[in-house]
Copies of this chain bind each other. A is one copy, B any other.
Amino acid sequence: MITIKDIARVAGVSHTTVSRALNGNPLIKKETRDRIEKIAAEMNYIPNYSAKSLVMKKSYTIGLFFSSIDQGTTASFLVDAIKGIHHVLDENYSLTVHGIDSIQHFDAIMPQRFDGILVMSQSDEDNAFIYHVKKMCIPLVVLNRQLEDTGIMNVVANDRIGVMEAIDYAASQGHSRFAIIEGRAGFKSSIERKQGFIDSLIAHRLPLIPEYFAAGDYAVESGYTAMCSLLALPEPPSIVFCANDDMAIGAMNACYAQGITIPEQLSLIGFDDIVFARYTNPALTTIHRPVADISKLGTTKLIELMKDPDTPPQQLFVNTTLMVRQSVAAV
């Protein structure tokens, strides 16, 4: 491996000059710089990141942390996040992926190892981690879950409003017996989506019926189970809002199994707009959650924060979009 010292020897200058030349330091005469850059290129010089890290106290690493990699995180969510970040992130940063639930010692999370951290947060339980990062003064952006603390950069989709729009739409189609299959207990998104559901019903002066609130955990299977229990009610709902598409697919399946046709006998609304949503039968009307956009914006903000740690924290909202397809009937 060749180093700046090797280049210095060839160029007949000191290694410091080489370092400066290669890092765009204005103290170097233009012709010297050009000559050194040429030599460096010819010698195929590649900087040693370990050495750089040691002296600069930078790691050239961005950490992406999910609440959990195994549980409650749908595949498309994780992938869209990674895609979004890669889209914005400079090539000489590398992105490491972690699950908060599998971290043994927070001590290993320190400025030395991460220039910046993105937390794809789903639950309050991440707070311990988030505050550790903050205490360590590592530039931090929390994505996807709205924080009470306005001292932290935060990028989220406005789930609640997204749901309200969807319910408004369904109400405009004449529906009045609304049920919900809720998300995983403890997840902020579950609460928000439920609240949007409730708010919209209240705004339309529709009744909140306790039996129409079914528990779920974001997994496909839980949608199936919850739908079965809803269908077993003496008077089933005319429309069911599922807190994510995975559960909506499970729910749809339960309907097939019981010979209920969608949307004629029962309407269905999902949340997320995963790839498969447009390929269910009928195609699922759902709320598009802009995970990739959130990730992109979050990464942009993180980069700002790394450049200038005093950038004032903001709470940024990214809009959801209602995707009207075929799973809601007019009644």
Contact = CB atoms under 8 A, between A and B. Distances in A.
Nearest to A107: B46
A42 interface: no
A73 B86 CA distance: 15
A244 B108 CA distance: 40
Interface stretch (A50-58, A231-239, A313-321): A50-58
Contact of A102 (B80, B86, B224): B86
Interface in A81-122: 82-83, 86, 91-92, 94-99, 102-104, 107-108, 110, 112-113
A127 interface: no
A229 interface: no
A108 B46 contact: yes
A50 B112 contact: yes
A275 interface: yes
Contact of A54 (B54, B75, B92, B279): B54
A49 to B, nearest CB: 6
Each complex incorporates copies of this chain amounting to 2
A14 interface: no
A49 B92 contact: no
Given A53-B50, A70-B83, A83-B69, A276 B78 contact: no
Interface in A57-84: 57, 59, 61, 63, 69-70, 73, 75-76, 78-80, 82-83
Contact of A97 (B75, B82, B275): B82
B49 A51 contact: no
A306 interface: no
A279 B256 CA distance: 10
B96 A69 contact: no
Q: A76, A99, A107, A275 — which one has the most chain B CB atoms within 10 A of its CB?
A: A275
Contacts of A253: 279, 281
Given A50-B112, A79-B78, A112-B49, A250 B279 contact: yes
A48 interface: yes
A249 interface: yes
A283 to B, nearest CB: 8
Given A54-B54, A253-B281, A256-B281, A46 B110 contact: yes
28 contacts: A1-B110, A44-B107, A46-B108, A46-B110, A48-B54, A49-B113, A50-B54, A51-B54, A53-B53, A61-B94, A63-B94, A69-B82, A69-B83, A70-B83, A78-B82, A79-B79, A82-B97, A86-B99, A91-B103, A91-B104, A95-B97, A246-B275, A252-B279, A252-B281, A253-B281, A256-B281, A276-B276, A281-B281
The 9 A-B pairs at the shortest CB distance, nearest first, are namely A50-B53, A75-B75, A50-B54, A75-B79, A94-B96, A256-B281, A75-B76, A253-B279, A249-B279
